[in-house]
Amino acid sequence: MLKRLSMTVLAACLALPAGALAEDLDGLTPEQLLPIAKKEGSVTVFSLSSRIAKIEKAFEGAYPGVDLIGLDMSSTKQIARVEAEQQAGVHAVDVLYIADTPVVFSKLVKENRVVNYVPPRIAGELEDRYKTPLLTQRLSTKVLMYNEKAFPDGAPITNLWQLTEPEWQGRVLMVDPSQRGELLDLLTEISLHSDEMAAAYKALYGKDIVVEDGLEGAGDQFIKALFENDLILLPNSDVLNKSIGDVDAKNPPVGFGTYSDRRDNEKEGWALQVANDVAPANGILFPAVLTIADKAPHPAAARLLIDFMFGDDSPTGGPGFEPFNVPGDYAVRKSIADAADSVKLADLKAWTIDLAKTAAARGRVADLIITLQ
């Protein structure tokens, strides 16, 4: 009976006008999508995470006959490539696994370069804020990280303003925010929380902060002070993680990285740990989203992949989500439990980015950074 139903669905979908196909696919179950996806043969995804390689193996095992082509690519590069290809009339990618959501919203969503899709199977589990305007698969981080072997008594930083002091001159690291939009989002969020940054300054130094002319508040003043204290900008997170987390380091730096990179401590010889007890916050939480590219060449396989990457109904999420069920990554599906060794989401001292406010302020902060580099 299921086979007959699947063939009926396949025949019906293939007979649909091209403009109507996506809308009709949205309501199908994975079982109904599968025969159409097999007919398409493959699905291409740009991924912010190298863990897409594990998803590729699991997806192809679950759905033989559908080849997953996963390309590890930063969010900044994804946005630039999709814009360039679509402007040239090229539609080669199906799914974007992407962060940098303020820019995705302004450059891709508003320009109708992506299509939001929420799998019916999990829609009822998700809060509305995770379903629109972009579908959030998990929450990730850019937070202050330190070397727990070199500092066995805990993080050496308890207030962000300490990073601007002589002791930490040239010893604070960050991936270049012009190359990784999530770091620009971090600095933008610091700028937007000026009142909290001013309060943290007074708590540390016992006096009110004096904000220089031309700056919009204590957040901007912190960014300026951080750059003037010889903030080190790096090309990628691999260099950052090794520099901070090297187990043999005697006096390692600290830096703003990805909490979930701690999963590689044993394999890489790192001792990365999150500095959580930091005033006024240790960084940001931001959404990692899944969205379908406009005119995706494999629309059924794209929807099947997105459904798969939300995991099964087990506490770990099964093969479709387990690569992301690590300390520092937080599922938005209520049925999936946080990793046992993770700071609980409610206890993580990070700001959650406001997509609209961050998008509006981002350009101003980017201009400020240019003047400081």
What CATH number does residue 207 fall under? 3.40.190.10
pLDDT of residue 311: 97
Q: Note whether 165 and 42 are same-domain residues.
A: no
CA 27 to chain centre: 27
Angle between helix axes 181-192 and 75-87 (nearest 10 degrees) is 110
pLDDT at position 373, please? 85
| CA 327 – CA 171 distance, rounded (Å) | 25
Predicted pLDDT of residue 179: 85
**pLDDT at residue 22, rounded to an integer:** 58
- Which one-letter amino acid corresponds to residue 265? N
Q: Would the pLDDT of 237 be above 70? A: yes
- The phi and psi torsions of 137 (rounded to 5 degrees) equal -90, -35
- Prediction pTM value: 0.85
What mean pLDDT comes out for the span 159-167? 98
Number of domains in the chain: 2
Mean pLDDT of the chain: 93
Q: How many helices (H) does the chain have, and how many strands (E)?
A: 14, 12
| Tens-place pLDDT, residues 176-185 | 998 888 999 9
246, 319: one domain: no
Tokens describing residue 158 = 């308890």
Q: Per-residue pLDDT for 15 more than 60?
A: no
Instruction: Indicate if the pLDDT at residue 319 is higher than 80.
Output: yes
In a domain, 134, yes or no: yes
Answer yes or no: do 125 and 148 share one domain.
no
Same domain, 255 and 156: yes
pLDDT at residue 356, rounded to an integer: 86
Is residue 11 domain-resident? no
> Which residues constitute the domain of residue 144?
140-285+349-372
Q: Are residues 323 and 355 in the same domain?
A: no
Same domain, 99 and 152: no
pLDDT at 252: 97
Q: What angle do CA 336, 340, 345 make, to 5 degrees?
A: 65
Q: Side chain identity at 147, as an amino acid letter?
A: N
**Phi, psi for 206 (deg, rounded to 5):** 75, 20
**8 band by pLDDT with thresholds 50, 70 and 90:** very low
Summarised one tens digit per residue, pLDDT across range 256-310 is: 999 999 999 999 999 999 999 999 999 999 999 999 999 999 999 999 999 999 9
Print the SS3 string covering 106-123: HHHHCCCCEECCCCHHHH
